[in-house]
Amino acid sequence: MTRFFRRPALLACALALGLQACGGPEASTDAPPSVVSTAASPVMESHARALLQDVEPGDILAALQAIPGVTVVRENAPPRPGVRHFVMTYDQPADHRHPEGTRFQQRLTLYFRSAELPMVLGSTGYGISTFAYQLEPTSLLQGNQLLVEHRFFGPSTPQPTDWKLLTIEQAAADHHRIIQAFKPLFGGRWISTGGSKGGMTSLYHRAFYPHDVDGTVAYVTPNSYGTQDPRYVRFLSKLGTPECREKIRVFQREVLARRAEVEPLFESRTQAMGLTFSLLGADKALEFTVLEFAFALWQYGNASLCDELPAAGGDAGELVDVLDDVVGLSYMSDSDLDYYAPYDFQAATQLGSYASDERHLHGVQRYPGQYDPRALVPFDMKPYRFNPFAMPLIEGWVKAFGQNILLVYGENDPWSTGAFDVRSRNDSYRFTVPGGNHGARIALLPEAEQAVALERLSAWAGLPAASTATLGLRAGAVKSGEEHVSTGVVDRRRGPPRD
């Protein structure tokens, strides 16, 4: 990849050609779009103005209803004074190369303050909740927020479902069309954001449509190599103290060595929760949950959890309790795997995932080497190959060309293994929350780094320089818990997002 950085044109061509193969053997033969203007096309803008000219000024509901392709499903109760919240859908082609074919309704929510304020385009990378909440950039900027459900999740799923259309290119085109549709109404600056898979989605969109938005804030956003990226094993092998790491290994081995005691408790507990394990079977589901344990402990927790792990030979019920607290007993259930199948499919074809350390589990495992995203998808994955070029090419674009990008990571978050690299010469920055996990955010950064992040975010959003101090006060309110905000990260321990 080093040569690509010295030859920008070569990297751009490689991105265009390499990503054609993403998503399997039947993927597109068309190159991804070239640089697109940040503004909507003159024809679209003129058409939108014609539709909006009879709308009474300030009538946001009528203005939304006038946008071609938008359906306002409902308006929720105001989440706070001066704010309105709408649930909408936007008409999208399942295949952007063939818009005359199958179409689907992509779900959105709008957190609205004023059409003149900056717009935050948010993605979770999964489904969305239709309850009103703010992402951190929305709260800091006191702007509007358009939250987009990722294609193939929940009601945003084309029917019939053609899985080869679940690619990063198609999802980027979804975001591009939404921006084109809403920009005539929201003419201020646009900032895209997301956490984890949502941050990945935001960066992929930028790679294909670099000028759609004025800046991007991506939280805890990884870039993985292959479905069994060994870098994660090396990262985990250095976290915490040797004693802490040994306690984690002992716990994992203890659960599997005492499977005859633990598994009946695992099954009875999950049955009481209404969960089933038809895809994997309870035995494999338990083993995969144990393999996830070390990663989840550091992703969501910290070293203090090591002190709470039960000693060897203790009560089997306590082992199940700890599994539930750290990983979640529903993690490998049919309902969770069915909901998250689009993610596992993407991980198995384009995004990649992490390898698990199994060396200390020899002799107590029954399914060694089988914990892979391909095993978690509830249909035959043989027709869909993994594209090894997609993520390195995205990584190369972000490093060489990614402008106005702010990355925030947690020091102890395993996903930081695959942290993207950016360049300050592109007005892009990467910051790390000391001791942080998957909940890292701007509000938790050290004071000096937070000041830089807030100043650049304010500038990208087109706010006056004096507003940086105000953003700092808001960040303080978020840090202290005075205001509940999210980075968009989905916590898979507690089941899918709820409407």
Q: Residues 410-467: pLDDT tens digits?
A: 999 999 999 999 999 999 999 999 999 999 999 999 999 999 999 999 999 999 987 8
| pLDDT score of 16 | 52
Contact predicate 433/415, CB 8 Å:
no
b/e 256-272 (16+ beta carbons within 10 angstroms → b): bebbeebbebbbebbee
Instruction: Name the residue among 380, 420, 396 with its Cα closest to residue 24.
Output: 380
Helix axes 242-257, 259-272, angle to 10 degrees: 80
Q: Distance between CA 302 and CA 238 in Å, rounded?
A: 13
Say what the pTM is. 0.91
Q: What is the mean pLDDT of residues 124-134?
A: 95
Beta pairing, strands 405-410 & 144-148: unpaired
Give the distance between the most distant pair of CA atoms in the chain: 74
Contact predicate 151/173, CB 8 Å:
no
Contact predicate 251/310, CB 8 Å:
yes
| pLDDT score of 54 | 53
* Mean pLDDT of the residues in the chain: 90
Interior angle at CA 357, CA 352 and CA 362, nearest 5:
135
Instruction: Name the residue among 490, 487, 494 with its Cα closest to residue 133.
Output: 487
Q: Distance between CA 277 and CA 333 in Å, rounded?
A: 5
- Whether the CA torsion 486, 487, 490, 491 is positive or negative: it is negative
Structure tokens at 212: 């759609």
Residues sharing a CB contact under 8 Å with residue 392, sequence separation 6 or more, in sequence order: 1, 225
**Residue 468 forms beta bridges with which residues?**
none
Structure tokens at 397: 């674009």
426 φ, ψ (degrees, to nearest 5): -95, 15
| pLDDT score of 499 | 74
Written in H, E and C, the secondary structure of 132-170 is CCEEHHHHHHCCEEEEECCCCCCCCCCCCCCHHHCCHHH
- Give 210-221 pLDDT, tens digit per residue: 999 999 999 999
Q: What is the mean pLDDT of residues 381-398?
A: 97
- The share of the chain scoring above pLDDT 70, in percent, equals 88
Q: Distance between CA 491 and CA 197 in Å, rounded?
A: 11
- Give 33-81 pLDDT, tens digit per residue: 333 333 345 555 555 555 555 555 568 999 999 999 999 999 999 999 9
- The share of the chain scoring above pLDDT 90, in percent, equals 83
| pLDDT score of 497 | 73
Instruction: Name the residue among 195, 120, 112 with its Cα closest to residue 409.
Output: 195
- Cβ-in-10-Å burial (0-12, 13-18, 19+) of 445 comes to buried
Structure tokens at 486: 């999210």
